[in-house]
Amino acid sequence: MSAAILATSETLRAILLDAMVADPVLRAAFPPLGASVVSLASPDGMVDAAEAGVSLWLYQVIRDPHLLNRPPRPLPPDAVEARPLPVRLRYLVTPMMRGAGGVAAPETDQHVLGRILQALDDRPIATGSDLRDTLVGTDRTLIARMETPGLEEIARIWDTLDEAFRPSICYEVGPVDIVARLGDARGPRVRRSEPDTRVATPAPAVEVP
């Protein structure tokens, strides 16, 4: 499914929003009590939109080499699922909280950082009722893993943004399957393979007088 990337982002956004609302201190800042949001926009995009909350920015999509050559899944009675493209998504998660008068709130940002770490450590695997959008009702399993990029990589990421550096966390989430448009292959399945073990007998030699 081509919408799997967005559905993964929405799943992660729902988990983080639930975590904010469940926190006794932060719940007043997020809906339904407050106006802060968990946004899929980049940090500078949130500033441009005058939004406060958490930036859940997808900054990189990479192919998953470990799942690329997995065998296709059989679909009863006579089909084989088109092999999907497995990818992993990398997010920069940045608190963008605001205090009274719209000023920066570094203390609240640090509280939000801790809550994000706690939430994704408690629930690193999303499946079943955790899934959102086009993933609802599927058997997909998403695993969120905290990444620790080096200082140089972090600097490169923030260099692409029109915003001063802020404390943030990187997460890799996957696997996410991009299903091929070719459709499932149909035809009878191979039930048994019989190798040909016969030995060819050479023709008798012909004597030349």
Q: Domain range holding 95?
A: 4-185
Q: Is residue 206 part of a domain?
A: no
- What amino acid occupies position 192? R
Q: Is residue 25 part of a domain?
A: yes
Q: Is residue 80 part of a domain?
A: yes
Q: Is residue 122 part of a domain?
A: yes
Tally of domains in the chain: 1
Q: How far apart are CA 176 and CA 168, in angstroms?
A: 23
Position 205 scores a pLDDT of 59
7: nearest Cα among 140, 124, 133, 127: 133
Helix residue spans in 36-150 (DSSP H):
43-48, 106-122
Q: Is residue 205 part of a domain?
A: no
User: Quick one: pLDDT band at residue 190, thresholds 50, 70, 90?
Assistant: low
Q: Is residue 204 part of a domain?
A: no
In sequence order, the β-bridge partners of residue 92 are 57, 170
Q: Is residue 23 part of a domain?
A: yes
Q: Is residue 51 part of a domain?
A: yes
Q: How far apart are CA 146 and CA 185, in angstroms?
A: 37
Position 199 scores a pLDDT of 60
Q: How far apart are CA 117 and CA 19, in angstroms?
A: 10
pLDDT tens digit string along 113-164? 999 999 999 999 999 999 999 999 999 999 999 999 888 999 999 999 988 8
Q: Tell me the mean pLDDT in the region 1-15.
A: 91
Global pTM value: 0.80
